[in-house]
Structure 1
């Protein structure tokens, strides 16, 4: 009997996606990477990992691809090694009746402002912070909190667009 598929929605390019695929194989599963641009992942060819090219930014396209995999040998799971796609993977898995983390909890974890609000409301100490949308709000928050302050987007990963402001802007 052919092993069940294990779908990965996109992949990190730093190596963890490759390790996820190997771990799936080690468990007797067939990894398949769902990717908008498979050429971003040279390990797919090197390791002979199956892939499907689709618009991974479209949750319905991801769901359709996973339904096709389920019909073609079964689907054991859906996940991602990329923080950007983990909520999509979880929603897809849940829609297919597979075990997955709570997509709402993942969304709270990915949004730094929502995460801090949830932690603070549960009594977990968090550093002073303000979610802002304008430079004037950022300057006011920096004066209120005290510098230096870390400035970063509420979403994203890998310290993208993050920095330290030693003093409030003038």
Structure 2
């Protein structure tokens, strides 16, 4: 019988659900999970580890389901990007600790995010908001090239497109129509493309006090403008020349967006003109950070720490020294060519015994179709690495990249397919 038992409500715990659910149970609470869309509820085994699974897509329906279940909710934890808005609004409704609900939309919707930045003096690129793909071209012309277009409610870089020049906006028929969570794209943010180094800043906040855990730099293979930042990442230490100003800027951002508690993942670009907000994520970081903290740092209970913050408590990691036993890095192999069929991933055997490899992930098999990589939803190969210093990490990443390769057979061109059919 769950009625009246203290519970933690996890919102959409599908990508990192196992870690969150185990931590909730370890902290002595009932594991209640709220699934808000088919993105979460259609996943096989999504409810594994739940004491109670609820299904609702809005605050009123969710509050009604919670009341009917008789849950005594002590915290609401948004576990993925799509859960941030509903999670904070539900925390307000249930009168449990959360972030400023009046700014919840600005923490989720990229257009509202930009408007809040202007209101509070947070530096962001010049931008325009448009309601259709057809309006993107005029907005980009107004801003100037290079520009970049972003769905306002997406995630994982899906649909983000660099517009290098006027030629690029002549045909925008390839723009996505639905976001990662299956929702139609109703608005686009068109903004000035900012050149410079890109960083991801991971923080925890307890009762309005922010602590930077670490900063990672997104590295690219060359100096070309890009719309998908994931190629290689490197964890930086405090000796990096941009570490202090980026940390100071991000703490200002967290204050401006009403983040009072919980983990956050803020992406910024940095150049000689200043630091500019790309996106704030009021949730735990994805990618390698959380896993590698737990294995190689003093932040050994990141899921517990996140939940403690949402419970209104101060986790121990806010006060103790942050210690890292190694420098971290990661890399992916992308399909930067045309779509095609994966023939083979060569060189995997060559990684056996290579020092510094923390984790290898092979997410595709021969025969799988691989689209051109535009976002984080389909990465055929990735690796996490560690080393005693940044130079060693970069060398290990380079070794992996020179050892492993993707063999992809491109799809036939439409003209070739038509010619073949004519000969039959």
Same fold (TM over 0.5): yes
State the TM-score, normalized to the length of structure 2: 0.35
- Equivalent in 84, 87, 94 of residue 86 of structure 1: 84
Q: What does 1:106-121 correspond to in 2, within 5 Å?
A: 106-121=104-119
Q: Which residue, out of 143, 157, 162, partners 1:159?
A: 157
Computed over aligned residues only, the root mean square deviation of the Cα atoms, in angstroms, reads 2.4
Q: Secondary structure at the match of 2:23?
A: helix
| Distance (whole Å) between structure 1 residues aligned to residue 120 and residue 42 of structure 2 | 43
What secondary structure does 1:130 align onto? strand
Q: Secondary structure at 2:131's aligned position in 1? A: coil
- Contact conserved, 2:78 with 2:84, CA < 8 A, in 1? yes
* Cα distance, 1:113 vs structure 2: 1.5
Note closer, same or farther for the CA distance 1:133–1:61 as it changes in structure 2 (3 Å cut).
closer
Query: Could you tell which deviates more after superposition, 115-124 or 2-11?
Result: 2-11
Per the TM alignment, residue 32 of structure 1 is displaced from its structure 2 partner at its CA by: 1.6
Residue 50 of structure 1 deviates from its aligned partner by: 2.1
Q: Distance in 2 between matches of 1:68 and 1:82?
A: 25
Structure 1 gaps, min length 5: none
Task: Give the superposition deviation at 1:92.
Answer: 2.1
On the 8 A contact 2:9/2:77 being kept in 1, the answer is: yes
1:37-63 deviation line (CA, Å, top 9, x unaligned):
645263643xx3223242x21322210
TM-fit CA distance, 1:93: 2.2
Counterpart in the other structure of 1:64 = 64
TM-score (norm 1): 0.79
Q: What is the distance in 2 between the residues matched to 1:43 and 1:134?
A: 34
Q: Is the helix fraction higher in 1 or 2?
A: 1
What secondary structure sits across from 1:22 in the alignment?
helix
The alignment partner of 2:156 has SS state of: coil
**Which residue of structure 2 aligns with residue 10 of structure 1?**
12
In structure 1, the partner of 2:144 is 146
User: For residues 84-137 of structure 1, what are the alpha-carbon distances to aligned partners after superposition, in whole Å with 9 as ceiling and x for unaligned?
Assistant: 222222222222221121222121121112211211222221112111124453
- Whole-angstrom distance in 2 between the partners of 1:114 and 1:34: 25
Aligned to 1:75: 73
Counterpart CA distance in 2 for 1:88 and 1:140 is 33
CA contact (8 A) 2:11 2:78 kept: yes
**Residue 138 (structure 1) shift:** 1.7
Pick closer, same or farther for the CA change 1:8–1:41 going to 2, 3 Å: farther
Greater CA drift, 144-153 or 33-42: 33-42
Tell me the equivalent position of 1:29. Answer: 29
Q: 2:209 maps to what in 1?
A: none
**Structure 1 residues 59 and 41, CA, compared in 2 at 3 Å: closer, same or farther?**
farther
1:6 Cα offset (Å): 0.9
> What are the residue-to-residue correspondences of 1:44-59 with 2, within 5 Å?
44-45=47-48, 48-54=49-55, 56-59=56-59
Report the Cα distance in structure 1 between the residues aligned to 2:121 and 2:84, rounded to whole angstroms. 27
Separation (CA, whole Å) in 2 of partners of 1:130 and 1:138? 9
- C-alpha spacing 1:43/1:88, structure 2 compared with 1 (3 Å): closer
Question: Which one scores higher on RCO, CA 8 angstroms, separation ≥ 6?
Answer: 1
More strand by share: 2
Cα shift at 1:24:
1.5
CA distance in 2, matches of 1:123, 1:75: 36
